[in-house]
Structure 1
Amino acid sequence: MTEEKKTDHWERDAELSDRGVRLDKFWARELADEGVSRGRIKQWIESGLALVDGEIVDKGKHKLSGGESLALGAGDAAPGEDAAQPVSGDLDVVFEDEHVVVVDKAAGLTTHPAPGEPGPTLVNHLLHRCPDMAAERSGMDGQRPGIVHRLDKDTSGLIVAARTEADRLALSSDFAGRRVRKVYLAIVHGKPERGEGSIDAPIGRHPSHKTRMAVHKGGREARSDYRVLWTGPRGLASLVAVRIHTGRTHQIRVHMAHIGHPLLGDAVYGPRENAEWSRREDRLAGLAPRQMLHAFYLSFTHPASGEVITLWRTPPDDFLSLLAGLQRECLRVGIVGMPGSGKSALASALRRENEPVFSADESVASLYGPGGDGASLIAKRFGGEYSREDGSVDKTALFEAMRASDVLRREIMEMVHPMVRHECELFFKANRDAEAAYAEIPLLLEGGWHESGMVDAVAGVSCPAEKRTGELRRIRGLDEETLAVFDSWQWPEGDKLAACDIVLDNCAGLAELEQEASRLRHWAEKRFAERNGAFESWLEALWPRLAVQLADELAGEPGTEEGGA
C-alpha cells in the first residue's frame, strides 16, 4: 500500500454517572459495539494513546471523576488469533467492484465480530466472498476490515464496505463529513400526531443501563427527520421514513421512542408496548420478531471514480408480512335499519352461517341487568328512581321518562352509548383475524360511528312500512305509539338507507332474509379481498416511487450521516 494507514480515534465526554469508573472499563463499554476487546483497549492505554482532559493517562485502572473530556487512539492492527476469519454464507450483494461492496444485510446478522457476538458476522461472509479484504492483504483492521458504518444486528438493509484501506479512508471521511445519504424505513406503534417532523434531542448512554442509549441533556447532538408514509386501520401502527442527520448509536430507535412511538418489536426501547403486543390474541402477535427497521436508501460517492452511487432495496419478507398483517384486519360492517325492520333476524341468519355478530340490544340488556355497569351508573345518577330491587334497570319506567324528556333521553344515551361502543370495539378486536365481523347498532348513524372510523361499511335493512308497522310490530309486542316513539329517535328511513353501502331487502319471509344474509356475507368477503389487493398494489408501487422522491429531495444536498443506526 502506498498510502499510510490512518488509525482510528474516538472522543467521549465522561458523564457524572461515570464517577469512579476505571478508564479501561469506560472505553470497553463505549466501544463494545465496535468489536474492540478490553485487552486491546488496555494495550492502547498503556501505549500512551489515551487522553484525559488533554493529558496522557497510561493506566487502565485510572478512575474517572466525571465530566472529563476523553480521547483514545487505536494502535496498528496486527493480524492474529483475534482477526476475523472467512466463513461461507449467503449475501445479497447489491453492488460490487474492486473498491466497494454493498450488501442488503439480513436481519439477525451482526455487522462485525464483537464481545458476545463472535460470528459468523457480515465481516466473516465478506472475507469469504472477497479474500482481498483480509488484513494481511488490505492493511485494514483485522476484526472489522472494510467496515465504515454499522447496522444493528436486527436491522436489515443496505450497508457499504470498502475493499482497500484507501477506499475505507475515503468512505470514512465521507461518513464523518455527513456526505453520505441514508434513509430508513420503520414500523412504529401508533400514529405520530404530525405527519412529518424533526426530532432534535441529544443522545448518550443511559444513566443507569449502560448498554442502552437515552435522550438526556448530557448526550451528544442528535437530529432525525421522519415522515409518515402510511398508518394502519384504527391507528394501530405506522410506516415511517426516517432520515438521520447524525449517527448516534440506536438513534432512530431512541428518537422514535422519545416521541412516544417506539418501533414494533423493540423490547429495549419500547418494553411496555412490546409486552402488550406479544400478548395480543390475533396473528399480529407473531409478526414483529425484531425491531422493524430497514436501511432502505443509500447514496454515496464512489471512493475511486467520484461517481454518485444511489441504491435502494425493498424491505424483507418479515417487514412486508407485518405491513400486510396490519392491513388485513376484519372488515367491520355495521347493520342498521328502522325499528322492526328485521335487523335482529338478519343478525341471527349471519350467526347461523358462523359469522361473528355483535348486538347492541344484547349489550344494553347486559349493561341494564343486575350488576351491570349501566345499571350501576343510572342508579347512582338518579338515586334508584329507575332501578329494581335486584339492581337492574326498570326499563319501562326509564322508557316513559325518556319519552317525556328529550333532555333525559340524551343524558341516558351519553351515559350508555360509550359503554356499548367499548364492548363493540372489544368484539371487533377479538375477531380481527376474521374476514368480516358484523355489529347490529340501531343508532350507529345517529351516533356518527360511521364517520369516526368505528366501522368500515354500513349495511341497511329495508322493510316495507306496512310489514314493519304491522306484522313485525305485532311479533315484537309493540303498540303503534311506542313504535312511533322509537322511529322519532332515529333518522328517517330514506336518509338512513341512503347512507348505507349496501341495502338488504326484507320484503318477504325468513327464507328470503337468509338469502340476503348470504348476499351480505359474499359482498363483505369481496370487499375485504379488494381492500387487501389494493393495499398490496399500493405497497408494491411505493418503494420505487419513494426512492425516486428521495433522490429528487436529496439531490445536491450535503450528506446526512456520520455513523451507524
Structure 2
Amino acid sequence: MYNNDSSDEKENTQIWTRDALFSDRNTRLDKFWGTELENDGISRGKAKDWIKAGLAEVDGVLCKKPNYKLAGGEKLTLKGEVENNSLIPEDKPLDIIFNDGRVAVINKPAGLTTHPAPSCPTETLVHRLIHHFPEIQNMDEWRPGIVHRLDKFTSGLIAVALNDHDRLALSAAFAEREVDKTYLAIVHGVPDKDFADINMPIGRHPIHKTKMAVVLKGGRDARSSYEVLWTDPAERASLLRVKIYTGRTHQIRVHMAHIGHPLLGDQVYGSQQHTILKNQSKPLSELASRQMLHAYSLSFNHPETDERLSFTLTPPDDFITLLKELNSSVQRVGLIGMPCCGKSTALKLLSEKGIPVFSADKSVSDTYNKDGAGWEMIRQRFGNKFTETETGNIDKKKVFTAICEDGDIRREIMNIVHPIVQHETALFFQTNATTPLAVAEIPLLLEAGWHTQKLVDVVIGIRCPDSKRTQELREKRGLDPETLATFDSWQWDEKAKMDCCTAIIDNDSGVDELKANTEKVLLLLAEMREAKAKKFDAFLKALFKQEDKH
C-alpha cells in the first residue's frame, strides 16, 4: 500500500505502509524496507538513514533501530523525503480501447511501466495518460487514474479512472473482487490437469526478498484458476487461460512456477527452464524475450451507470509469433518397413538432401559397442556370454543367434535396448526441433507401440516385394529361409504395417524408382506442414473469437 503525505508534512515527503508477513520473521527492519522499496529506487542505506532519523514506526511506535528484528504481523510505516519530480506529459501513442469521459480502457504494450517511481521517473503509461487525458493530472501525484497495474512486461487491458469519484469507485471494486480479470499465458511444458484451481497464499520469498513465492505461513490468500487451451506438438509449451480472483504481486507468475510450469520468458521465476529452452532452441528463447503473459479480458461495472462493461483484446504480435513458431516445430517422421525393404537406402537419399536422419539399427549397433548405452547392462545380466573378452565389444552375431533360439533372451535384450533407442530417437527430434522435418528409421516403431506415444507425427512405409527383399537378405546377410522366417515373425506383416502409414514409398525395382517415389512423399510432407500452419492460424482466429464470448 502506498499513501501520499498528509497536509502537515513537507511537500516532498512520502509515507509508505506495509504489513509484515510471517515470512518476514527475523528480518531486519532496514532490510525489509530496502527490499520493499527497491522498485521505487529507495536503497537499503537510504531506508536505514530514515529509520535512524526517527521516521519509522512499528505498530504505531517510533523505532530508530535499523537492526530491529521483525516478528511478523506488525504494521509498519516509513516516511522519507524524495525528489519532487512533477509529471510531465509525454506525447506518445496510446491505444485507447474505450473512453466515455469517465472511464478509459487502455491496451498497455509489453515493456511499458504502468506508473512512475524513482527507479523509472519517465516514459511510463501515466506520462502518456496525462497527455491524452490532461484532466487527470492533478488527481494523484504519482498514479493519476491508476486503479490497478500490470507488470512492465505484461501486455493487455488496463482500466483507468478519469476523475476522483470514479477512481475511488473502481478501486473499491477491485478491492472487493468485483472485477473479472482473465489472462492468456504461454507456460513451459504441459500441466497434468486440463483444468485446475490454485489456491495458495503468496508472500515475500523467505530467502530472495525481491521475489514473491507461495508461502504457507503468513502469506496473503491468492487464488488462480487455469484451463489448457493448446499444447504444442513437441509438448514444450502450453497456452493457458488463467483467471485470477485476487491481485497479489506476480500472482500468475508465482502460481504457475509453483506447479512446475513457469511462463516462457520469465527469467525471474523460470530461469532454469528458460536456460534449458535456450540450450535446446535459441530462436524460441529469443522469441520469448519477456514473460509471455497477456491481460486478455477485463469486466467491471461502470462506476456511474452500474452497467457491466466487458472487454477482450487479442494478444500482440510477439505472443502470436511465438505460438506459431511452437506449432511449426519439426515434423517428426518415422520410417518403417520389413527387413531389407530399402529403408537404409531411402534414409541415405534423404540425408543427401540435407534432411536430418536417424537410424534405430545404427543406434542398436552402437549400444552393443564397449561403453555403449546398453553394453554394461547386457554384461551385468549375461556376463561374458556375448563378449570375447572382459572388455571387448558385444558380439552381434552371438546376440542374434541367441535371440533366434531363445524367446526369453530376446525379450530381455529388447527390454534393455528398446528404451535406449526410444530415448535416443526422442533426443534426435529434440536436437532438430527447429528444422522443417527430420526422419528416423525405426523398424519396430509399430511393434513397440511408440507411434501411440507421440514419438512421431507421421509414419512413412517402404513397401518392397517379398522376392526382392528376401533375395537381398540372403545375399547381404547370408540368412537361410528358416532364419528369414524367424526374422519376419518378430514384426507385423507388411500389410498391417502399411495400413498404419500416412504414405507409402514403393521400392519395386531399383534406386531410381525409390528416389522418385521418395521425392513424391517429400512433397506430400511439405503440403502437410503447410496445411498444419493454415489449420493453426484458423484455430487461433476461432479461439480468440470464442474467447471474446467468455
- On whether the aligned pair clears a TM of 0.5, the verdict is yes
Q: Which moved more, 1:183-192 or 1:417-426?
A: 417-426
Check conservation: 1:33, 1:114, Cα contact below 8 A: yes
Judged with a 3 Å threshold, the aligned counterparts in structure 2 of structure 1 residues 61 and 43 are, in CA distance, closer, same or farther, namely closer
Partner deviation per Cα, 1:265-294 (whole Å, 9 max, x = no partner): 111111211221222245213121111111
Aligned to 2:377: 377
In 2, the alpha carbon distance for the partners of 1:547 and 1:169 equals 28
Partner deviation per Cα, 1:344-364 (whole Å, 9 max, x = no partner): 121122222222211111112
In 2, the alpha carbon distance for the partners of 1:290 and 1:319 equals 10
Check conservation: 2:41, 2:119, Cα contact below 8 A: no
Aligned to 2:331: 331
Aligned to 1:197: 196
Matched, 1:69 2:74: yes
In 1, the alpha carbon distance for the partners of 2:515 and 2:44 equals 75
In 1, the alpha carbon distance for the partners of 2:386 and 2:524 equals 43
Query: Under a length normalisation based on structure 2, what TM-score does the superposition of the two structures give?
Result: 0.90
Check conservation: 1:330, 1:436, Cα contact below 8 A: yes
Which of these residues, 15, 30, 40, is aligned with residue 36 of structure 2? 30
In 2, the alpha carbon distance for the partners of 1:368 and 1:251 equals 51
Judged with a 3 Å threshold, the aligned counterparts in structure 2 of structure 1 residues 56 and 49 are, in CA distance, closer, same or farther, namely farther
In 2, the alpha carbon distance for the partners of 1:278 and 1:302 equals 45
Aligned to 1:264: 264
Judged with a 3 Å threshold, the aligned counterparts in structure 2 of structure 1 residues 494 and 65 are, in CA distance, closer, same or farther, namely closer
The amino acid across from 1:124 in the alignment is H
Check conservation: 2:23, 2:218, Cα contact below 8 A: no
Q: How does 1:131-210 map to 2 (within 5 A)?
A: 131-135=134-138, 140-210=139-209
What residue ranges of structure 1 are gaps of 5+ in the alignment?
Answer: 551-565
Matched, 1:103 2:106: yes
SS of residue paired to 2:296: strand
SS of residue paired to 1:235: coil
User: Structure 1 residue 207: deviation in Å?
Assistant: 1.6
Partner deviation per Cα, 1:363-405 (whole Å, 9 max, x = no partner): 1222222332222321222111101336211111111111111
Identity of aligned residues (%): 47
Aligned to 1:92: 95
Check conservation: 2:56, 2:79, Cα contact below 8 A: no
- Aligned-pair RMSD on alpha carbons? 3.0
In 2, the alpha carbon distance for the partners of 1:434 and 1:415 equals 30
Check conservation: 1:110, 1:119, Cα contact below 8 A: no
The amino acid across from 2:261 in the alignment is H
Partner deviation per Cα, 1:42-96 (whole Å, 9 max, x = no partner): 999999998644x354869694542243165999x99x83232211222221112
User: Structure 1 residue 473: deviation in Å?
Assistant: 3.9
In 2, the alpha carbon distance for the partners of 1:47 and 1:218 equals 30
Q: How does 1:242-391 map to 2 (within 5 A)?
A: 242-389=242-389, 391=392
Check conservation: 1:105, 1:158, Cα contact below 8 A: yes
The amino acid across from 2:459 in the alignment is V
Check conservation: 1:50, 1:70, Cα contact below 8 A: no
Query: Under a length normalisation based on structure 1, what TM-score does the superposition of the two structures give?
Result: 0.88
* RCO comparison, higher one (Cα < 8 Å, 6+): 1
Judged with a 3 Å threshold, the aligned counterparts in structure 2 of structure 1 residues 178 and 235 are, in CA distance, closer, same or farther, namely same
Check conservation: 1:6, 1:169, Cα contact below 8 A: no
Check conservation: 1:49, 1:56, Cα contact below 8 A: no
User: Structure 1 residue 510: deviation in Å?
Assistant: 1.1
The amino acid across from 1:226 in the alignment is Y
Check conservation: 1:256, 1:262, Cα contact below 8 A: yes
Judged with a 3 Å threshold, the aligned counterparts in structure 2 of structure 1 residues 438 and 463 are, in CA distance, closer, same or farther, namely same
Check conservation: 1:16, 1:65, Cα contact below 8 A: no
Aligned to 2:504: 503
SS of residue paired to 2:336: strand
Check conservation: 1:148, 1:161, Cα contact below 8 A: yes
User: Structure 1 residue 198: deviation in Å?
Assistant: 0.8
Aligned to 1:409: 410
User: Structure 1 residue 471: deviation in Å?
Assistant: 4.8
Aligned to 1:119: 122
In 2, the alpha carbon distance for the partners of 1:408 and 1:316 equals 58
The amino acid across from 1:523 in the alignment is L
Judged with a 3 Å threshold, the aligned counterparts in structure 2 of structure 1 residues 468 and 445 are, in CA distance, closer, same or farther, namely same
SS of residue paired to 2:275: helix
The amino acid across from 2:455 in the alignment is M
Check conservation: 2:186, 2:239, Cα contact below 8 A: yes
What residue ranges of structure 2 are gaps of 5+ in the alignment?
Answer: 8-14
SS of residue paired to 1:229: strand
Partner deviation per Cα, 1:229-287 (whole Å, 9 max, x = no partner): 11112321111111111111011111111111111111111121122122224521312
